[in-house]
Amino acid sequence: MPEPTDPLLHPIELLYQPLVRRALEEDLGGAGDLTTESIVPEAARASALLVARSEGRLAGVRAALTAFRILDPALEAEVRLADGADAPAGAEIARLAGSARALLTAERTALNLLGRLSGIATATRSIVRAIGPHPARVVCTRKTTPGLRLLEKFAVRAGGGANHRFGLDDAVLIKDNHRVFAGSLREAVRRARRHAGHMVKIEAEVDTLDQLDEALAERVDAVLFDNMALETLAEGVRRARGRCVMEASGNITAATAPAVAAAGIDLISVGWITHSAPALDVALDFLPA
């Protein structure tokens, strides 16, 4: 099978352009950009630099350019650092030339997207680097900003991570409340298997080794070790190895991830990389006329 031409698997622009357009509409409101339209002539052109003010892993360069191009389809852009690149502080990300009004009006939407997504990519990179030689992969969760999941999950890939479920319809993930409602993990798995088709995988969240044994007896496709102590996790890995995919979660940081990876886990799922990652400091600097 040939390698994909896009190793980051960028989302198709058709899928994220509507959310970029909605963000612009939110900013423009009913009256438009009063400041820019009162100061800048309609025909004026300008050149500007998209700059990383702090060091980090980039994601959202294409989405940022989409914001500018919605307002100026003829925008000229010379990308110096693409999505997935590491940007030193002060680095030029892209050189832009086009409508001065479009550059100014789309500036905040473009920077919001680029800063937010690059922050996620940078946070993901920190954990990927921390686990070093271990084969475990860092994956994200559904703890994403409403409406931005497609782009935020792309940012995780740009940071060297991988994606978990995109939505509730991707797979079955039996969590603690499902287990409580069904009466037992075993019953929850059996109900899910009766409902889901043969192509749907089933993962069960387990808090104890007894729950793990129940899940393994039901031959689930994956188990999620949730907030387990390292000694318990290591025993869980010993029992489950070779029988299903093994995932660990629960307040995992770059400092704690290496020990989790060393236990032999396959996947490390981290919610904060999408819901709490600090934005990367990026800017748009106009060049002198």
Q: Would you please indicate which residues are annotated as catalytic (active-site) residues?
A: 108, 143, 175, 205, 226
Residue 237 CA to residue 271 CA, distance in Å, equals 22
Instruction: At 198, list the tokens.
Output: 């043969």
Closest CA to 130 of 163, 159, 155: 159
Residues 86 and 57 sit within 8 Å (Cβ to Cβ): yes
Torsion of CA 108, 63, 14, 82, to 10 degrees: 160
Q: What token pair was written down for 2?
A: 């040939």
The whole-angstrom separation of Cα 40 and Cα 47 is 14
